[in-house]
Structure 1
Amino acid sequence: MTVAKALGHIRVLDLSRVLAGPWCSQNLADLGADVIKIERPGSGDDTRAWGPPYARDADGRDTSEAAYYLAANRGKRSVTVDIASAEGQQLIRELAAQSDVVLENYKVGQLKRYGLDYESLKAVKPDLVYCSITGFGQDGPYAHRAGYDFLIQGMGGLMSVTGERDDLPGGGPQKAGVALVDLMTGMYSTIAIQAALMHRDRSGEGQYIDMALLDVQVAMLANMGSNYLNSGKAPKRWGNAHPNIVPYQTFACSDGYIIVAAGNDGQYQKFVEAGGRADLATHERYASNPLRVQNRDELVPILAEMVKGKTRSEWIEQLEAVGVPCGPINDIGDVYQNPQVQARGLVTETPHPSAGKVKLVRSPMRLSGTPTDGGSAPPLLGQHTEEVLRELLGRSPEDIGALKGKGVL
């Protein structure tokens, strides 16, 4: 029995590369969309070369597929097209006419030179949904600047609230450990595209979506942005602590670190009672969260000394038993050994044309009626060029051979 896919009726022409755009189109592919990934002949997506590490074949030898590329491109079909050539541009226009969505992350105005901007493609597909992802958006004084995740984390305020406190050893700004702005821009773009498709289905109208990394970074400051807007005071770095909740941070046990996230007074009381310091639960300076925030500099060292008296496993067992949120700080290897991660089946092995099999992380989206699956492996460069041109554009083997001979494919 074939299981319906939520976006099984949608085709996406993906002109994006690196991470923000591919992350978006991978989400759409996970939901069942036919994603056609357009790549540069000969080299393809930049991330194909962002290794080591690479996928390995059955003999343990590196293939040409970088692990970075594998992380963001499952479930797609790869077609190589030189969009700088007139014949390549015509192929893109023809493919756009057969698609519901075009996704791109070129510099502002670059695709207009090729006749592949929204207005040009709208002429051949009036109800097209066209999503552009750039660093700073299509207008404003920074529109023509190149935008990279690291830069945006700094410019957009994330690094001002990430890292240890300036008055503590190691204090200073720190970027997130993954390209968080790229990933969140991909997620916001996924939502925007689906909203535009719903509007199209009701009205018959396509539309243009202007996504900017800086916009996303500012939006995702969340409570930190709200704290500033409502106080006029810029938040500072708190390391592994929380600006509004105490205790909500890491603590050193006798044999490692744990996180304690006491989100209310009841959880705080159970935490200190488990540590043999019930007196701290009713202390006049620590009994409520506002008091604990006000007096954190004197309370936290007391709590830190209390935590040192037990092992990590002892603390986790005791705190879980009384309902205090806590947990270990795992490295990535620990994550994939975690019984909950394993029970949820987050790692899949997918057949791959050169590596035999590759391990991928499955989509976290769980839909009961239209489930995602592991999808096909991230494609080899140009793996589906002939298939797509035959299937969608009716090109003959001779036509395709001629285009390859000219370097168009």
Structure 2
Amino acid sequence: MLYLDNAATTPVRPEVLEAMMPYLTRWFGNASSHHTVGEAAAGALADARTRVARVLGMRAGDIIFTSGGTEANNLAIKGISIAARAARGAAHLVTTPIEHESILESAAYLQRLHGFEIAHIDVDGLGRVAASDIAAALRQDTALVTLGYANNEVGTVQEVAAISALARERGVPVHIDAVQAAGWLPLDAGALGVDAVSLAGHKLGAPKGTGVLAVRGRIPLEPLLHGGGQERGKRSGTEDVAGAVGFATALELAEAERAESSARVAALRDRFIAQVLHDVPSALLTGDPVHRLPGTASFTFAGTSGEAVLLELERRGVVSSSGSACAAGSDEPSHVLLAMGIAPDLAQTAVRFTLPRTLREPLDAVAQAVAASVVAVQSGG
């Protein structure tokens, strides 16, 4: 079985398990406890925080450990926006319609319960938003610009640095969801010009349930969880020390390998895309053909059902997906593809292949399986 759904989740790396194990066994203490076992845990937590900050080009005090990307996005969007409203009456949020559900639903919450006005800036047919369109939407009462660094369904990469530069001129903070970008794209927050970054460990070879929100200390942030005041009062609750160590280890490994693995996988991805487009007449590549994640290849196959193609592929030993795992079970066409101008019927034929960073061999056999699967579905057998 070949697993090509790495945007949904990845296996935990052996190095990560090894790094975590002492804090699940011998040094299992609560990092808030003032004794030897607790202090060992606190030291490991502080070290993990510093290691994550180093990759992001931020300060250790900017790092908040969370349960994953969804919590990080919720904390960033709700926390920064609510604090901005309290401080200066800001009640306007700028985003795009192709974002992960955790961004769109957080924005909807602010609109529904806090009276925020949400500006959803249109994207083009490749899934790109123009920096000038973002800038044109900014207002005096804009609390935040929030968008994905790279889209989780089609892999399109946004012009984050250009967007951030224009927002900075207006004094508006920028938050990026870098969950899919981590390990593939540069993450230095200074170079990107962003004020907050969300990450999830399970996309990098760390366990599910680990994540980070990095937010610059000068940005006011209203906590969503209240209690013992952990994470500098921004996210109360007993910290998952082992998870933080695992996250830091996975992030460091992915960053160290990023340049080589991104170039290698992108070349194999391009070969796979070319073969599918050649062998499957109905295939249409979705997303930007150039500005896309190295490990993402997404298509529509007219005259099929995406779910039916997935079943045929799995019969042939290939596991992939029809889009975001967070929307699994939905019968609705992808909101990302619809926002890109793809017709609903065609959007429901979508299939996404997301490749592992360890990929070293061409995917010629997978491309052949795709062609056979599409033919089988189109012929009804």
TM tier, smaller:
under 0.3
Which structure is higher in RCO with an 8 Å CA cutoff and minimum separation 6?
A: 2
Larger radius of gyration: 1
TM-score (norm. length: structure 2): 0.26
